[in-house]
């Protein structure tokens, strides 16, 4: 909200605090993919909305003069002069729901925060994301002092909500918080020091809590339940002894269950066994056999996902150390809206040292802690091969893969990082991890551990220490 300032006054304050507003733009560009339907409540001059590069952008601004200036500055956007407290799709002339709703530096000045948050349901579908940013309440004395000496634009009465206040209001209004954070330790431009503080120091534990900008991403708390079809992709290299068992033990999932074997340059009879099993099968499953021309598990998974016809995509490793009988739990978590990306977790129930040696367990726990920090969502086991995602979300992830690049030979982390970038809710399903009954592991532990460490450092630059 912008008080009684005219457009020239707002522009003057934006120039004076350019470092802060540029950081706010970068944050929203990280959280909002380009080309979406985006609605911003309290859009001011429309610069932040324009910075997200929406396919269709609509801004709501209460001041008619500011709204007219925003429309003139950004003719590709729709700027509507309206009060947040009386928002309605008919009032703003938008019948279709939005993919993203922005509330940037607006929440603190609303007279009825819960009422506005509840009204937003009329603009949502079950996959809409609400991105909220507001000033950290710890900065109240400094910001009020800056306002008093003319360094900050005049504000109406502010609520100065704490993180717990915001989460409680979102919960009451039917929103579920997916992730949150702070950034921007230094809102004024000081050569060398400002980039250091805002890109690097602001993301360190403890220091992060003092960032000026507190942000959250939330989703509707009651997404629609469905009974979708499923495709189970089974990458298989040197797993001839497990192919028949995978089908014998495969449960029926959803409205239809497709199983795609993807064989990758085996030195045993894996491909011949896949052909035999698929050719002789006469049950309710739909079986398909594919051979990859590339190498590595990631290449096999992408081939299977691209060929899959189900609405839900699952990965099941052919070693069957994660039991096929556990897949209904993954399906239920996704179909009932408990999560939008479901990851297996092998570290809850007891397991033998043969199934997972102590050194592997320690490495898994280390990478889980690192990834939980990177993704801002709790993960206990990042290395479990069983992962489940909606086909539509995978297509969005694939379209945005250039953001991370072709860096993952396994496929697991491409999916995890992509899910985090799409602001999907990640949940974990505990599984009873089994020792393999046929063959030996294809994993080179030391080599692949170093690859994982390098991927963590790379992802940190893309998800945490963003320029």
In sequence order, what DSSP letters do the residues of 402-424 get, joined into one string?
GGT-S--SSSHHHHHHHHHHTTP
Q: Is 245 exposed, middle or buried (0-12, 13-18, 19+ CB in 10 A)?
A: middle
Is the predicted pLDDT of residue 329 greater than 60, yes or no?
Answer: yes
Distances (CA, A) of 11 to 18, 44, 357: 10, 10, 61
What are the φ/ψ torsions at residue 379 (nearest 5 degrees)?
A: -130, 135
Q: What is the mean pLDDT of residues 348-372?
A: 83
pLDDT of 123 over the 50 cut? yes
Percent pLDDT > 90 in the chain is: 69
**Residues 107, 110: Cα–Cα separation, whole Å:** 5
Residue 132: what pLDDT?
A: 98
Each residue of 159-181: pLDDT tens digit? Answer: 889 999 999 999 999 999 999 99
How confident is the model at residue 2, as a pLDDT? 45
Q: Across all residues in the chain, what is the average pLDDT?
A: 91
Task: Tell me how far apart the alpha carbons of residues 236 and 241 are, in angstroms, rounded to a whole number.
Answer: 11
CA distance 75 to 57: 10
* CA 444/CA 250 separation, integer angstroms: 28
Residue 155 has pLDDT above 90, yes or no: no
- Check: CB of residue 314 under 8 Å from CB of residue 232: yes
Residue 10's pLDDT is what?
A: 86
Could you tell me the pTM of the whole model?
A: 0.88
pLDDT for 281 beyond 90: yes
- What is the predicted pLDDT for the residue at 382? 83
What is the rounded average pLDDT of the residues 421-445?
79
Model pLDDT, residue 368: 86
pLDDT given at position 438:
66
The region, left, alpha or beta by phi > 0 then psi within -120 to 50, assigned to residue 84 is alpha
Report the range of poorest mean pLDDT among 101-105, 384-388, 454-458. 454-458
Q: Is residue 433 within 8 Å of 355, Cβ to Cβ? A: yes
pLDDT tens figures, 383-412: 888 999 999 999 999 998 888 877 666 777
* Overall average pLDDT of the 193-200 stretch: 93
For 65-79, 156-170, 235-249, which range has the lowest pLDDT when averaged over its residues? 156-170
Dig out the tokens for 318 from the structure: 């052919």
CB 200 within 8 A of CB 184: no
| 437 alpha-carbon distance from chain centroid | 36
| CA–CA gap between residue 379 and residue 368 (Å, rounded) | 6
Range with lowest mean pLDDT among 248-252, 288-292, 360-364? 360-364
- Looking at residue 74, its pLDDT comes to 97
Measure the CA–CA gap between 72 and 65, rounded to whole angstroms.
11
The helix (run of H) or strand (run of E) holding residue 11 is: helix 7-16
List own/partner pairs for 2-6 with CB under 8 A and 24 or more apart: 2/44, 2/61, 2/63, 2/66, 2/153, 3/153, 3/154, 3/155, 3/156, 4/154, 5/66, 5/153, 5/154, 6/65, 6/66
Name the residue with higher pLDDT: 46 or 461.
Answer: 46
Assigned token pair, 324:
């096929």
The mean-pLDDT minimum among 149-153, 299-303, 409-413 falls in 409-413
Sign (positive/negative) of CA torsion 177, 178, 181, 187?
negative
Q: d(Cα 249, Cα 256) in Å, to the nearest integer?
A: 16
Between 244 and 221, name the one with better pLDDT. 244
Residue 442 has pLDDT above 70, yes or no: no
Half-sphere CA count of 29, side-chain side, radius 13 A = 15
User: What is the structure's pLDDT at 1?
Assistant: 43
Sorting pLDDT into bands at 50, 70 and 90, what band is 434?
Answer: confident
Lowest mean pLDDT among 192-206, 312-326, 347-361: 347-361
Alpha-carbon span 13 to 36, nearest angstrom: 29
């Amino acid at each position: 909200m912008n008080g009684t300032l005219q457009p020239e006054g707002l522009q003057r304050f934006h120039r004076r605090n350019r470092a802060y507003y540029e950081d706010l733009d970068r944050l929203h560009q990280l959280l909002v993919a380009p080309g979406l339907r985006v609605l911003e409540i309290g859009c001011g001059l429309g610069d932040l909305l324009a910075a997200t590069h929406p396919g269709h952008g609509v801004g709501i601004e209460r001041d008619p003069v500011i709204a007219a200036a925003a429309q003139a500055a950004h003719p590709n956007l729709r700027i509507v002069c309206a009060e947040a407290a009386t928002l309605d799709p008919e009032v703003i002339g938008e019948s279709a729901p939005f993919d993203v709703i922005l509330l940037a530096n607006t929440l603190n000045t609303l007279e009825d925060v819960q009422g506005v948050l509840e009204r937003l349901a009329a603009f949502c579908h079950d996959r809409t994301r609400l991105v909220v940013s507001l000033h950290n309440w710890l900065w109240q004395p400094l910001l009020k002092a800056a306002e008093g000496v003319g360094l900050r634009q005049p504000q109406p009465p502010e609520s100065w909500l704490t993180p717990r206040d915001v989460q409680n209001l979102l919960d009451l209004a039917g929103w579920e918080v997916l992730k949150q954070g702070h950034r921007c330790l230094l809102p004024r431009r000081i050569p060398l020091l400002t980039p250091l503080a805002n890109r690097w120091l602001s993301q360190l534990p403890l220091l992060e809590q003092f960032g000026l900008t507190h942000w959250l991403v939330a989703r509707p708390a009651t997404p629609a339940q469905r009974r979708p079809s499923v495709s189970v992709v089974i990458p298989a290299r040197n797993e001839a002894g497990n192919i028949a068992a995978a089908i014998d033990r495969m449960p029926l999932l959803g409205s239809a269950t497709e199983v795609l074997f993807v064989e990758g340059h085996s030195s045993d009879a894996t491909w011949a066994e896949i052909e035999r099993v698929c050719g002789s099968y006469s049950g309710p499953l739909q079986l398909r056999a594919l051979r990859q021309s590339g190498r590595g598990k990631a290449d096999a998974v992408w081939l299977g996902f691209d060929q899959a016809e189900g609405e839900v995509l699952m990965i099941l490793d052919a070693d069957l150390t994660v039991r096929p009988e556990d897949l209904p739990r993954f399906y239920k978590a996704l179909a009932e809206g408990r999560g939008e990306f479901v990851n297996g977790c092998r570290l809850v129930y007891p397991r033998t040292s043969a199934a997972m040696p102590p050194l592997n367990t320690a490495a898994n726990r280390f990478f889980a802690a690192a990834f939980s920090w990177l993704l801002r969502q709790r993960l206990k086991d990042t290395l479990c091969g069983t992962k489940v995602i909606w086909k539509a979300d995978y297509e969005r992830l694939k379209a945005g893969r250039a953001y991370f690049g072709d860096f993952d030979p396994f496929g697991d982390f491409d999916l995890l990082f992509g899910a985090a970038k799409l602001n999907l809710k990640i949940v974990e399903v505990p599984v009873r991890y089994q020792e393999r009954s046929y063959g030996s592991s294809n994993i080179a532990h030391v080599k692949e551990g170093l690859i994982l460490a390098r991927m963590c450092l790379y992802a940190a630059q893309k998800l945490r220490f963003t320029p």
